[in-house]
Amino acid sequence: MKTDKDFALQLDQQDDLRAYRNEFYISNETIYLDGNSLGLLSKRAENAVQTIMNSWKNYGIDGWTEGKHPWYYLSEQLGELSAPLIGANPDEVIITGSTTTNLHQLVATFFKPTEKRYKILADELNFPSDIYALKSQLQLKGLDPKEHLIQVKSQNGNTLETKDIVEMMQDDVALIVLPSILYRSGQILDMQTLTKEAHKRNIMIGFDLCHSIGSIPHKLTEWDVDFAFWCTYKHLNGGPGSVGGLYVNNKHFGKEPGLAGWFSSAKDKQFDMEHTLTPAANAGAYQIGTPHVLSTAPLLGSLEIFDAAGIDRIRNKSLQLTHYLMALIESELADYDFTIANPRDDKTRGGHVFLEHPEAARICKALKAENIIPDFRNPNGIRLAPVALYNTFEEVWQTVQVLKTIMTEERYKKYENKRGVIA
C-alpha cells in the first residue's frame, strides 16, 4: 500500500462518506482519534436535544404524549432505530439504563443457578465494570465469585482464542457473558460460533457490545444470541453519559424481569397502578425506571446519521482507515519499538488500532500536546480510533508523521510515564 500524503488525499476524494464529516463539530486544529471512548457531537444530535427541550417548554407534562417525539414512547422509538445496527427485530431492542445497570438486569433475569449449573463464564480481558457486576450478582445469590465466576485466560495478554472459550463451556456453567470486541486490542470475538457452541451445551450467552455497536455489523437474532447490552457514547456519538441499550431475543419474551420497575410494565397497563406487574411483551419489559429523556435526546439525531450512512459502508471505511494506519506505522515507525497488538485480518479487527510501547503514557501526552487525541490504556497501550463518519485518511497520515517526529526528537521524554486521573 502507498503511504504518501497524495495517496491519503486520493483516498479522501474517493470516500463516499466524506460529506458526513461536515455534520460534526470538529476543530481544524485537532485530530480526534478517541471516538471509541467518546464520540464527537453532531449537529443533528444537538438539534434533537433542542427539539426535546422545546417539547418540555411548550407542552410541560403533556410532552409525555404530545410533540414530535412523545417521551412515553421514546425508548422504544430509539430501540427501533438501533435495531438495524445489531441485526435485531425492532421489538427486541430498548434504549434504557447504562451498560452496567443493563448487565445487572439481564443477569438477574437469566442467571438461575441450579444444583448442576451454578457458574458464570466470562474472560480475563473484559472491561472491569462487567466483572464487578457479575461478581455482585453471584454474591446476591449467596455464591462465592472466587469459585463461581470463571474467566477464560488469554494466551498473549491481548486476544482470546475461540477454542479456549469453548473448552470452558462445562456442564456446571449456567451463563456466559463476553465482550463482542475486546476494549484494549480491538479483537472481534466470533459471536456466531460462540453462541452456537453455548447453545449446544444448553448454556445461555450474552455479549457486551460497547465497542462494536456503530462500528461493525451484527446479526444477533440470526445468530440466536440470547441477550446483549451496550453504551451509546462511543461509536454511536450519543454524548457523555448518554443512555445505554439492551437486546433480548424474542424467544425470551414473557420472562419476568429480574429487576422489575414501573417502566417494565406493558404500556397500556402502566398507569393502572396495580401492585402486580404486567410486563411488556417485548424488550421494554427489561427497563426499570423512567426514561432519562434529556440524555436520550441526542440519539435521535445521531441514529439518523447511521440510518443514512449505513453500517456496512461505515464498516468498509473503518477497515480502510485502520489498514492504512497500520501500513503507515510499519513503514514510518519501524525503528521505534512499537508493536501493533490488535488483530491484522479484517474479520477479527474492530474499529481501532492498538499499539504497545514501553513509553506509551508519555507518548500519549506528547501527542495531546500536538493536538492529536489518542487513548492510553494501562500499562503500555495506545488506542488510535479513526472513525469512519468524521476522520479522514489525511488525518491518519498526519498522525503518523507527528508520531514519528515525537519519537525522532524524543519529545515524549518531557512527560512522566504514567497516566492521568482519566486515561
Binding residue positions for pyridoxal 5'-phosphate: 99-100, 127-130, 208, 211, 233, 262, 290
Full 3-state SS string of 19-85:
HHHHHECCCCCCEECECCCCCCCEHHHHHHHHHHHHHHHHHHHHHHCCCCCCHHHHHHHHHHHHHHH
Residue 292: closest CA among 99, 5, 83, 75: 75
* Grid cell of 231 as nine digits: 453504551
d(CA 406, CA 81): 43
Q: What angle do CA 214, 217, 220 make, to 5 degrees?
A: 110
* Residue 143 neighbours by CB distance under 10 Å: 18
Sign of dihedral through CA atoms 329, 335, 340, 346? positive
Instruction: Report CA dihedral (397, 400, 406, 410) to the nearest 10 degrees.
Output: -140
d(CA 259, CA 390): 38
Alpha helices in 70-190 (DSSP H): 74-86, 99-110, 128-140, 145-148, 162-167
Task: Judge residue 422's burial from the number of C-beta atoms within 10 Å of its C-beta, 0-12 exposed, 13-18 middle, 19 or more buried.
Answer: exposed
Torsion region of 97: left, alpha or beta (phi above 0 gives left; psi -120 to 50 gives alpha) = left
